[in-house]
Chains A and B, each alone.
Chain A
Amino acid sequence: MAVAAALCAAATANAEPAPQGLAAAIAQARARHLADTLMWRALVHYRRMPFRSGWTSQADGAAFFVAPEGKRSPESELEATLAALFAESPAAPDAHPSCRYPARRTWLASELGLAALPEPPCPAYEQFRAALDPVGATLVFAEAFLNNPASMFGHTLLRIDTKRGRDLLGFAVNFSGATGNDSGIVYAARGLTGGYQGFFSVDPYYEKVKSYGDWENRDIWEYQLALSPEELDLLLAHLWELQGIAFDYYYFDENCSQQLLALLEAARPALREREFLPPWVIPADTVRAAVRHDLVTDVRYRPSAATRLRDAASRLSRDERGLALGIASGDVAPDAPAVQALPPAERAATLDVAYDVLRYRYLAHDVAREGSAGRARAILLARSEVGVRGAAPEPPRPAWRPDEGHDTMRAAFSAGALGDEPYLELRFRPAFHDQLDPQGGYVRGAEIQFFDTALRVYPTTGRARVQEFVPLDLVSLTPWDSIFRPLSFRVDTGLRTRVAPARHGDGVEQASVFRNRGGLGLSLDLGDGALLYALAEATGEIGAELDHDAALGAGGSAGILASTPGDLWRGELFARATRYALGDVTTALSAGLAQRVTLTHHLALELRSSYERDFGRGWVEGVAGLRGYF
């Protein structure tokens, strides 16, 4: 009964007679506190900002606001918008504010029952709507791409599905920083400090599939969204309002994912879970938010060109694979007797792989177009003459979707012993994933950690210290095989602890050093998800306890990573040697076994034991702990 009564009350409120004019509309908007609703905050992108009272819009382009003080005042902006919507129609088409703010108009008219608003002609907006012709929307997630700092965590965009076709013919709505040709350090500096402006863009979706799937070889996941026609209408109308509007772009928080979520809020305001932005927004979290709000109906997996090629090649026999590689490199003619001798289905599959290898090498700039074009045509000509119709089978879909992976914040509590001295350790990592974490939903062999921090206490002596503070740790282990020849690499930088001989007496003491380490090498697939790697490394350190306050070293690391089927257990057998030649001349060694056992989706057991040697002293270290993901 109470519910029914409430519904009736709401219905009565909505059925109030429409205000005859602007004054009545404003009075009603004030009485109902419309400027203080989730929807209005979504439409004008108002947020709470640190160190500021009230609301601030994230939009930075002045053209986005009707009121001069609109960026900081939801009330003024709402009332100015109402005044603009009631304004007389100017002669020129598209010139009326109704054409500029179709989402605000739709929402305000429906909330306030504004039946008598002017209805000026908006041919440009009509054309935009007709071009997009929406029937639905899909949230698209492109997996992480470690070779580009801008894509390390993955990327999200929105696809507008049209009547003409849901898939390739949809439109990709993308938010990106206008970084021009800046790269490297300039990108980092400007991207982190808001030095770029970001804009929404709309392109054919097949262009995005090409750039992410074919060129960058990132698997793509498509999450179909359950939006009602009204929600979809508001989404498109709001997208129009954002055309050409600049947003300051910040790598960590005001990035593609956060802005995309903000766009979706215009359709589903409840998506906003907090008014302050979290300090970082990770693309997979956008997808998780959509799933959490029951917005996702169907999920499709679109494997990248490399994933398809790897899978198709794995279906060939060794001889067929050899033939395919020979054909791709031009050593074997597509109609050579050895190829002709294959049964039709095998011949078709071999030629398909040959073409894809050639295309992959061409896109990777490994081969020039001269010669490739003729070879490509010869391969396809031979393929068309086999007469077997059909593309290679779809690669199997990974067991875990990106949104099903472990949460990216991690805290760990562990107990261990360094030599015979026990210690307790508390570790916190804001983001994102390491080699031992559960692999499901993450890119294989990729490790990205930000601000991993460990505090250690030695109860017997009462000493406490910052054991590690590592702002950045990046590892990419991609297996090398007959088709793909990527380098594996590591980069990490941060505060570490080394055990050095005491300055006074003959004990040891722990010394803090700031260490930069880089490594380059190869990885090999050992089958069943096991990976062997070997990297040559260079190490530079700065620390007050070091001789001359600095040390430079060279060395290498190698190891084997393996999991049980289903990944409940994962282990790494590792070894590293570093010869320090500048500063203290010494050789540091480390070898051991690290293991993780998954207990629940949010909890894992961690075990690590190793033998360490530094400054001519050796000791054993063992530690066990619990990792929590949240």
Chain B
Amino acid sequence: MARFALMALLVLAPVAAMAGDPDIGCGPGTQIWAGNSGVAPKVLGATTNGSFGLQTFGITFGTLGCHQGGKVVADAHVREFAAANLDALAHDMAQGDGEVLSTFAGLIGVKDSDRADFYAFTQRNFARIFANDDTTSLEVLASLEKLMAEEPQLAVYASQG
């Protein structure tokens, strides 16, 4: 076991010295949109990246059941996914395409036949969904739900399904 330990320890000293930033590997848990800056991202990173020191399984989502076609804001999956992927979701909505947007559409239960319309809808309404520079993920979901309710074809995904 670890038979090279001692020797390798001696020679790894230069590498160790090189790896100066203790945060490398944990990743800065930060997004442009989520409204974090300064120290906050690192704190967020420490909690987001649950594999460090976590001794029990951190399944925080998935346990509440999946609301197929349910209310967008009320669904815990949707909230967590949107919060964790807001930067990419914003980009995907603006370009009306992308993996994060299609995953999101699946989570809120948009049928395959309505996908193209939904993507175009998010692009068309981008300015209202991401209403300002500090829009949070919850505000995004609330605006989206309100706008979808006004859209005949998409209203079914916004109200109780």
By a beta-carbon cutoff of 8 Å, the part of chain A in contact with chain B is 49-50, 127-128, 130-133, 145, 147-151, 162, 164-165, 167-169, 171, 174, 176, 178-189, 192-194, 199-204, 206-207, 210-211, 214-216, 243-244, 246, 250-254, 277, 279-280, 348, 352, 355-356, 358-359, 362-363, 365, 368-370, 372-374, 376-377, 380-381, 383-384, 387-391, 450-451, 471-472, 474, 489, 491, 493-494, 516, 518
Contacts and interface: CB of A to CB of B under 8 A. Distances in A.
Interface in B29-79: 30, 32-33, 35-37, 48-59, 61-63, 66, 77
A390 B95 contact: yes
A365 B19 CA distance: 17
A302 to B, nearest CB: 9
Contacts of A373: 32-33, 35, 133-134
B41 to A, nearest CB: 9
B4 to A, nearest CB: 6
Interface in B12-26: 12-22, 24-26
Nearest to A163: B66
B12 A192 contact: yes
A145 B52 CA distance: 18
Contacts of B126: 380-381, 384
Contact of A167 (B25, B33, B99): B99
A193 B1 CA distance: 9
A253 B2 CA distance: 7
Q: Which of B3, B59, B95 has the most CB of A within 10 A?
A: B95
A19 B85 CA distance: 54
Given A148-B24, A201-B54, A185 B90 contact: no
Interface in B87-101: 87-88, 90-100
Contacts of A215: 27-28
Nearest to A50: B1
B11 A472 contact: yes
Contacts of A377: 90, 130, 132-133
A169 B107 contact: yes
A206 B84 contact: yes
A335 B8 CA distance: 56
B84 A194 contact: no
Given A201-B58, A210-B27, A391-B97, A149 B36 contact: no
A369 B28 CA distance: 13
A254 B1 contact: yes
Contacts of B52: 176, 178-180
Contacts of B100: 168
B3 to A, nearest CB: 6
B136 to A, nearest CB: 12
B9 A204 contact: no
A544 to B, nearest CB: 19
A238 B53 CA distance: 20
Nearest to B126: A384
Contact of B1 (A147, A178, A211, A253): A253
Contact of A147 (B19, B55, B132): B19
A373 B155 CA distance: 30
Nearest to A51: B1
B13 A250 contact: no
A187 B16 contact: yes
Instruction: Give the size range of B's interface with the partner.
Output: 35 or more
A180 B46 CA distance: 9
Interface of B: 1-22, 24-28, 30, 32-33, 35-37, 48-59, 61-63, 66, 77, 80-81, 84-85, 87-88, 90-100, 103, 106-107, 119-120, 123-124, 126-127, 130, 132-134
Given A149-B15, A377-B133, A384-B123, A389 B1 contact: no
Given A132-B62, A201-B54, A380-B130, A207 B49 contact: yes
A167 B32 contact: no
Given A176-B52, A363-B28, A493 B124 contact: no
Given A188-B13, A491-B18, 16 more contacts: A49-B1, A164-B106, A165-B106, A167-B99, A183-B22, A184-B16, A187-B19, A194-B2, A203-B58, A204-B81, A253-B1, A277-B1, A358-B32, A384-B124, A491-B15, A494-B11
Given A244-B56, A373-B32, A389-B96, A207 B4 contact: no
Given A193-B2, A203-B50, A211-B27, A149 B19 contact: yes
Contacts of A199: 53-55
Nearest to A365: B28
Contacts of B49: 207, 211
Contact of B32 (A131, A206, A254, A369): A369
Given A362-B32, A384-B123, A391-B97, A184 B84 contact: no
A188 B141 CA distance: 44
Contacts of B120: 389
Contact of A516 (B2, B14, B28, B33): B14
Contacts of A491: 14-15, 18
Contacts of A194: 1-2, 5
Contact of A151 (B25, B90, B119): B25
B142 to A, nearest CB: 17
24 contacts: A148-B24, A162-B62, A171-B62, A183-B21, A183-B24, A185-B16, A188-B12, A201-B50, A206-B85, A244-B56, A277-B1, A280-B4, A359-B87, A373-B32, A373-B134, A380-B90, A383-B91, A390-B96, A450-B8, A471-B11, A472-B12, A491-B18, A493-B11, A493-B14
A381 B127 contact: yes
Contacts of B22: 181-184
Contact of A188 (B2, B16, B92, B96): B16
Nearest to A383: B94
A19 B82 CA distance: 53
Contact of B59 (A131, A178, A192): A131
Contacts of A150: 25
A207 to B, nearest CB: 6
B52 to A, nearest CB: 6
Contacts of A50: 1, 3
Given A147-B19, A202-B58, A369-B36, A252 B127 contact: no
Q: Which 8 A-B pairs have the closest CB atoms?
A: A384-B126, A183-B22, A389-B96, A471-B11, A380-B94, A369-B37, A215-B27, A131-B62
A391 B130 CA distance: 19
Given A188-B12, A252-B8, A368-B37, A355 B2 contact: no
A399 B84 CA distance: 32
A128 B57 CA distance: 9
B25 A210 contact: no
Contacts of B130: 377, 380-381
A123 to B, nearest CB: 12
Contacts of A279: 3-4
Contacts of B124: 384
Contacts of B98: 391
Contacts of A244: 55-56
A252 B4 contact: yes
Nearest to A172: B51
